[in-house]
């Protein structure tokens, strides 16, 4: 019990001492996971730093912290636009989750386009540009000119949505979302 308490205390002391220059340095050094994890609990009010933290979270497929971050991005048109971009990705993630689990029709929805993976997948689902591979497991395939995406659901609870990203038949990365 004491070990757990010490770990929690050290985690919180590190996260609260995680300052702007460390965030920028870690971001430049592509330590995106660290920036996302520690940055979201560092309680920064600097919107340029919040934008970096949110961007780092996207780079490691950690979408859920974006909801907390975007509430603080309000001072300028640039930061409000960034917040809208991140909110769009959150919404697309949720709608894809509903599509895969509940079979909702997304064809009547129009959301802003981004180059982020979830946006690309969402847009192709909206356009019905996919092939059902397996109805039982709700596995679908989206084929684009330079990428192929296979969407599937986990069999364990809570159900996760996986997106296998392929280029030229080679698996680049498996992304997962809850």
In the predicted structure, residue 176 carries a pLDDT above the cut 70: yes
* Per-residue model confidence (pLDDT) at position 64: 92
**Are the beta carbons of 133 and 150 closer than 8 angstroms?**
yes
Average pLDDT, the chain: 89
**Are the beta carbons of 15 and 41 closer than 8 angstroms?**
yes
> pLDDT-derived band of residue 40, with 50, 70 and 90 as boundaries?
confident
- Structure token pair of residue 126: 């909206």
> pLDDT-derived band of residue 16, with 50, 70 and 90 as boundaries?
low
pTM of the shown model:
0.84
In the predicted structure, residue 12 carries a pLDDT above the cut 70: no
pLDDT in tens, 56-100: 999 999 999 999 999 999 999 999 999 999 999 999 999 999 999
Cα(80)–Cα(31) distance, integer angstroms:
25
pLDDT in tens, 130-143: 999 998 888 999 99
**Per-residue CA distances from 119 to 6, 22, 107, 158 (Å):** 41, 30, 14, 23
């Amino acid at each position: 019990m004491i070990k757990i308490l010490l770990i929690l205390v050290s985690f919180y002391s590190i996260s609260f001492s995680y300052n702007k220059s460390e965030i920028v340095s870690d971001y430049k050094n592509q330590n995106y996971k660290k920036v996302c994890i520690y940055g979201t609990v560092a309680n920064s009010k600097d919107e340029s730093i919040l934008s970096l933290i949110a961007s780092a979270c996207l780079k490691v497929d950690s979408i859920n912290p974006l909801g907390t971050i975007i509430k603080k991005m309000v001072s300028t048109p640039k930061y409000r636009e960034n917040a809208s971009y991140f909110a769009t990705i959150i919404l697309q993630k949720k709608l894809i989750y509903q599509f895969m689990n509940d079979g909702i029709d997304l064809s009547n929805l129009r959301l802003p386009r981004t180059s982020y993976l979830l946006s690309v997948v969402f847009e192709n689902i909206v356009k019905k540009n996919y092939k059902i591979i397996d109805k039982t497991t709700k596995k679908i395939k989206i084929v684009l000119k330079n990428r192929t995406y296979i969407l599937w659901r986990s069999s364990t609870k809570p159900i996760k949505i996986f997106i296998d990203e392929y280029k030229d038949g080679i698996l680049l990365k498996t992304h997962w979302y809850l």
